[in-house]
Amino acid sequence: MKRKKLTEADVTAESVFMLKRRQVLKMLGISATALSLPAAAQADLLDWFKGNDRPPAPAGKALDFAKPAEWQANLTLTPEDKVAGYNNFYEFGLDKADPAANAGSLRTDPWTLTIGGEVAKPLTLDHDDLTKRFPLEERIYRMRCVEAWSMVVPWVGFPLHKLLALV
């Protein structure tokens, strides 16, 4: 694929990204107004620390995986019900708990992964192909988010570079 040569005409206009003093003041005023709203009208960022009133997440397939010592952490894991019931899949609803409540009927079989385009060997794989070709392993990750939450969770998968080496 030939890359397009960019010209000065293709550069984003400064007016699109450069804020002016009046725009900044306007945004500050809107922010101050929003902050003065009653708590019921604001997003409750501290829901994470309240009691668990989230529905349980649907159970997935049981996976066979290794636990390499170099990827394990000597940390207390975040309870699974907190992790699995708190996410942003807006296809299932706008609230953080909606996906856990509404995703039970989602069918992911027979989904496939196709790697194509500028690769030497295009490839299409399904879930079973992936788990047969690439041994799964568990790694423990510490996640921190700009939404004011953090958690320690196990991740089960395989390194992406192993998949990319095939194509």
> Which pLDDT score is estimated for 57?
54
Query: How far apart (Å, rounded) are the C-alpha atoms in residues 131 and 158?
Result: 9
Closest by Cα among 96, 105, 90, 94 to 52: 96
Q: Is residue 109 part of a domain?
A: yes
Beta bridge pairs of residue 152:
142
> Which pLDDT score is estimated for 56?
56
Q: What angle do CA 96, 141, 50 make, to 5 degrees?
A: 35
Q: Is residue 129 part of a domain?
A: yes
Q: Is residue 122 part of a domain?
A: yes
Query: How far apart (Å, rounded) are the C-alpha atoms in residues 40 and 18?
Result: 34
Q: Is residue 10 part of a domain?
A: no
Q: Which residue has the higher pLDDT, 47 or 153?
A: 153
The owner of tokens 């040569």 is 5
Q: Is residue 18 part of a domain?
A: no
Residue 96 has pLDDT above 70, yes or no: yes
Q: Is residue 19 part of a domain?
A: no
Mean pLDDT of 111-118: 93
Query: How far apart (Å, rounded) are the C-alpha atoms in residues 121 and 166?
Result: 7
Q: Which residue has the higher pLDDT, 159 or 24?
A: 159
Q: Which residue has the higher pLDDT, 53 or 88?
A: 88
Tell me the HSE value of 53 on the side-chain side, using a 13 A CA sphere: 5
Q: Is residue 63 part of a domain?
A: yes
Residue 6 has pLDDT above 80, yes or no: no
CATH number at residue 114: 3.90.420.10
Tens digit of each residue's pLDDT (9 = 90 or more) over 52-61: 555 555 566 6
Number of neighbouring beta carbons within 10 Å of residue 140 = 15
Residue 68 has pLDDT above 90, yes or no: no
- Number of structural domains found in the chain: 1
Q: Is residue 123 part of a domain?
A: yes
Which segments of the chain are extended strands (E)?
112-115, 123-126, 137-145, 149-157
**Which residues lie closer than 8 Å to 143 by C-beta, 6 or more apart?**
150, 151, 152, 153
Q: Which domain holds residue 75?
A: 43-164
Mean pLDDT of all residues belonging to the chain: 77
Residues of the chain with pLDDT > 90: what percent? 19
